[in-house]
Amino acid sequence: MTSPADVPHLTPNQINALVVLMVEARRLTNVELKELAGFTLTGKDNTKLVDLGLVDTDRTHRPFAHELTEQGWRVARQLHTAPPPKAGGSTTRSLFVVLSNLHRSLDRLRVSHGDFFKQTGATAAPSEPRPEAPAPAVTAAKAAPAAPAEVEALVRSAYRDLATAPGAWVGLADVRDRLADTDRAALDAALRAMVGQDDVRIIPVANTKSLTARDRAAAVRIGNEDNHALAIGPA
């Protein structure tokens, strides 16, 4: 779990920028930031967030465009663990209350911030009539299994929410809890496929006496041994 000390000291405007980029979950230009939230990300605020590795800014053309990095997502998810900056006043403190309740609710629902805020296709207008549901079949067809790339994306999203930092070890038991609705065989196949990627490590726990029944049940068999921990990112 990230502690308040792990969250850098940020100004109210820097915090606002991280939050807006998180909830929009996409690259935003300064024009879009101005239209959405009434401010732009420029000058010292932009420089600090880029230097901290929290925001990636495209300066190849104007208006400049900004997007959260993986580290930026981690800090944005954990902002509520740090004390609000005094300069922010009641508005910033209220934002931190919202962030704290959002974090608690998503944790209870086992939904990642990335999945919650990700952009989806346009929805039907409220006035548009909804199509009638087809009559239920006598035998319900099984849902098509998720594609391997989709399962891998779910694993990476769950890891980002659980890991204290890129490359930190996370128990597979915790990953499986986050992905409880994912087919076990599909998840195992995705984990085995991910082992071949440069940034992924899946290992057994050396001290088997420390394993709980939950850890053993969550293990994935790779080669001739059970593996219990996952790390994604630099070693």
CA nearest to 116, candidates 164, 157, 173, 79: 157
Q: How far is CA 93 from CA 12, 83, 89, 104, 127, in A?
A: 10, 9, 6, 17, 38
Decide if pLDDT at 175 tops 90. yes
Cα 200 to chain centroid distance, Å, stands at 17
Q: In the predicted model, what is the mean pLDDT of residues 151-157?
A: 93
Q: In the predicted model, what is the mean pLDDT of residues 18-25?
A: 92
Q: In the predicted model, what is the mean pLDDT of residues 161-174?
A: 92
pTM as predicted: 0.49
pLDDT in tens, 51-84: 999 999 998 888 999 999 988 888 888 888 777 7
- pLDDT value, residue 57: 93
Q: Parallel, antiparallel, or unpaired for β 200-203 and 55-58?
A: unpaired
Residue type, 17: A
Which SS3 state, helix, strand or coil, does residue 168 take?
coil
CA nearest to 150, candidates 108, 182, 180: 182
